[in-house]
């Protein structure tokens, strides 16, 4: 049965970390954790679709059949091909939080992935520039819906010690999708003089969303969303099965159930789900500032140059052979996969704040060196091949430094805000990122074509600013329970934070928490 809020004396002075059982085996040897993490792949795979798209568009720019079919798109015309996905996402973003709050986290992922599958079919069968762009807008619409729900499902379902890792591997799924796109476009590039060299990668983009549709059908629903819907028995059953290894009397299960219920009921009583709550206290303003700036940082750190316009960058460096460009794209992607997952899995050791400071500062230094080498290469007429290769290495090394930032952005965004604002915050963050990416996608191809390496100075200035902001305003959230993070921003009076005697519930909900599951 559930533990009564007034019968928690054995937990006096404890926090979530104190009641987590000590495991003597690796997590995948525990059936409950193995099952949970396999089903949560339904959320993790979301970013593979995003990564596939960026690398595919990069690769297609080096495929002659694609450039010929669409009349050699460049400048604004090329930018629209990249931005169509952003536009589709922006169109549905305003209603997505309400969909996630009303229907849960699982259903929006399924609906979004189904839309992506449909958009991929239209994209692969496109017979005109307009149809290709509209298909990409449809993919962006579905991806936005799934992408907003995915981190919510991960952070709210993950086993507490694995919360940071599970949410952080969401972003490294991007280079995995990028790898599949790079290898697909490279292999189909060999299909000379046929439009299937670009249609096959375009159709293949629907594979991962199709797998997600299957997985999410069997995935569990967020226990926090279930509590918000007063479905306490289902939330308790989730915690028993996946966090308590089948033991309803587990200290961890009892503690989590009480802490989650206390926090969410307090938020509901305080009507914290309104947008105006972001400006109600200094703690909420701090949260809003963090979410706003980190969403801009994530997409305006020079990463857009390599993600969508690598072909232009390599051409500016004197590497014009399509085969060489595709091989560099593939090699860069493999390196990125390895580094992204390696760093993401170390989040609890590194810490969120430290990772951001390391990432932005090293990207700043990398861009400085990249710019310098590019200037020297241009002065030497790109005749020194050793220097050109060194520049490529420095360029690829940027991906390593970026992954001290990228994996932890979705984690940080969903951690710093309370449950009642989590879906709205995720949507807001995605909308800011989409807007920033959209601006970047218009600026980058034009800037690279007009100014070449000189355009990199924009990223240098931005990265210097991001380093300062991360050092000054980003607190550490690791090592705390999801509900306990509120104390960092709101102090000891944070609503619903458990510290022995401070579990409080609305009067009409207390009886619900002592029913048998």
Distance CA 205, CA 227 (A): 36
Q: SS3 for 179?
A: helix
Q: What is the pLDDT of residue 432?
A: 87
Q: Tell me how crowded residue 515 is: count the other CB atoms within 10 A of its CB.
A: 11
CB-based contact 498:255 (threshold 8 Å): yes
Among 312, 298, 296, which residue's Cα sits nearest to residue 453? 312
Q: What is the pLDDT of residue 514?
A: 40
From first CA to last CA, the distance across the chain in angstroms is: 6
Distance CA 401, CA 404 (A): 6
CB-based contact 437:309 (threshold 8 Å): no
| The two structure tokens encoding residue 322 | 């399509």
CB-based contact 421:80 (threshold 8 Å): no
Q: DSSP character for 231?
A: -
| The two structure tokens encoding residue 253 | 């299960």
Q: What is the pLDDT of residue 242?
A: 94
Among 212, 250, 232, which residue's Cα sits nearest to residue 32? 250
Q: What is the dihedral of CA 346, 352, 353, 357, to 10 degrees?
A: 60
Element (H, E) at 57: helix 46-60
Secondary structure of 341-401 as H, E, C letters: HHHHCCHHHHCHHHHHHHHHHHHHHHHHHHHHHHHHHHHCCCCCHHHHHHHHHHHHHHHHH
Give Cβ neighbours of residue 393 (< 8 Å, ≥ 6 apart): none
CB-based contact 515:233 (threshold 8 Å): yes
Q: Tens of pLDDT along the chain (517 residues)?
A: 455 444 455 666 677 778 888 888 888 899 999 999 999 999 999 988 888 887 787 778 878 888 888 888 877 788 788 778 878 888 888 899 999 999 999 999 999 999 999 999 999 999 999 999 999 999 999 998 999 999 999 999 999 988 888 888 888 888 788 778 878 887 887 777 788 988 999 999 999 999 999 999 999 999 999 999 999 999 999 999 999 989 988 889 988 888 888 888 877 776 666 788 888 889 889 999 999 999 999 888 877 666 555 666 677 667 777 777 777 777 777 887 888 888 988 888 899 999 999 999 999 999 888 888 878 877 777 677 777 778 778 888 888 899 899 888 988 999 999 888 898 998 898 888 877 877 877 777 777 777 777 877 888 999 999 999 999 999 999 878 888 888 888 876 565 444 443 444 444 444 444 443 3
Q: DSSP character for 205?
A: T
Q: How many whole angstroms from its chain centre is CA 432?
A: 13
Domains of the chain with bracketed CATH: 1-31+234-270+487-517 (no CATH), 40-222+281-483 (1.20.1250.20)
Q: What is the DSSP string of 448-498?
A: HHHHGGGGGHHHHHHHHHHHHHHHHH----TTS-TTTTHHHHHGGG-TT--
pTM for the whole structure:
0.79
Q: What is the pLDDT of residue 39?
A: 92
Among 163, 174, 225, 108, which residue's Cα sits nearest to residue 414? 163
């Amino acid at each position: 049965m559930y533990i009564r809020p007034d019968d928690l004396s054995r937990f006096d002075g404890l926090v979530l970390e104190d009641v987590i059982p000590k495991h003597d085996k690796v997590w995948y040897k525990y059936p409950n954790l193995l099952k949970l993490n396999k089903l949560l792949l339904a959320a993790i795979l979301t970013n593979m679709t995003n990564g596939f798209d960026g690398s595919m568009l990069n690769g297609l720019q080096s495929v002659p059949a694609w450039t010929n079919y669409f009349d050699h798109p460049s400048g604004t015309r090329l930018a629209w091909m990249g931005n169509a996905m952003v536009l589709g996402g922006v169109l549905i973003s305003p209603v997505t939080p309400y969909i996630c709050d009303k229907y849960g986290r699982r259903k929006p992922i399924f609906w979004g992935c189904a839309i992506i599958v449909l958009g991929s079919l239209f994209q692969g069968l496109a017979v005109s520039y307009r149809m290709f762009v509209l298909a990409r807008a449809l993919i962006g619409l579905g991806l936005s819906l799934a992408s907003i729900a995915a981190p919510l499902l991960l952070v709210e379902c993950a086993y507490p010690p694995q919360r940071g890792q599970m949410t952080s591997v969401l972003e490294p799924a991007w280079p995995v999708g990028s790898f599949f796109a790079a290898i697909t476009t490279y292999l189909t590039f060999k299909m000379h003089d046929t439009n299937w060299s670009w249609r096959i990668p375009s159709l293949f983009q629907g594979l991962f969303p199709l797998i997600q549709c299957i997985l999410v059908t069997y995935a569990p629903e967020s226990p926090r969303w279930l509590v918000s819907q007063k479905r306490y028995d289902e939330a308790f059953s989730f915690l028993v099965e996946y966090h308590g290894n089948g033991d309803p009397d587990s200290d961890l299960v009892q503690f989590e159930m009480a802490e989650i219920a206390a926090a969410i009921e307090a938020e509901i009583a305080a009507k914290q789900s309104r947008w105006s709550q972001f400006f109600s206290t200094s703690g909420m303003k701090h949260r809003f500032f963090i979410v706003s700036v980190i969403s801009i940082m994530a997409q305006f750190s020079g990463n857009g140059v390599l993600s969508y316009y690598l072909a232009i960058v390599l051409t500016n460096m004197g590497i014009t052979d399509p085969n060489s460009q595709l091989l560099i794209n593939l090699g860069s992607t493999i390196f990125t996969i390895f580094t992204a997952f390696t760093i993401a899995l170390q989040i609890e050791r590194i810490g969120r704040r430290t990772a951001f400071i390391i990432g932005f500062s090293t990207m700043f230094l990398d861009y400085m060196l990249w710019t310098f080498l590019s200037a020297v290469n241009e002065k030497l007429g790109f005749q020194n091949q050793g220097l050109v290769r060194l520049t490529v290495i420095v360029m690829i090394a940027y991906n390593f430094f970026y992954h001290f930032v990228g994996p932890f952005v979705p984690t940080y965004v969903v951690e710093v805000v309370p449950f009642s604002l989590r879906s709205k915050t995720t949507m807001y963050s995605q909308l800011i990122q989409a807007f920033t990416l959209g601006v970047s996608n218009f600026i980058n191809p034009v800037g690279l074509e007009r100014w070449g390496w000189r355009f990199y100075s924009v990223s240098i200035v931005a990265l210097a600013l991001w380093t300062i902001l991360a050092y000054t305003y980003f607190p550490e959230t690791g090592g705390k329970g999801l509900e306990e993070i509120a104390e960092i921003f709101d102090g000891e009076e944070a609503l619903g934070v458990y510290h022995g005697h401070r579990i409080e519930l609305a009067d009409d909900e207390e009886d619900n928490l002592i029913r048998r599951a």
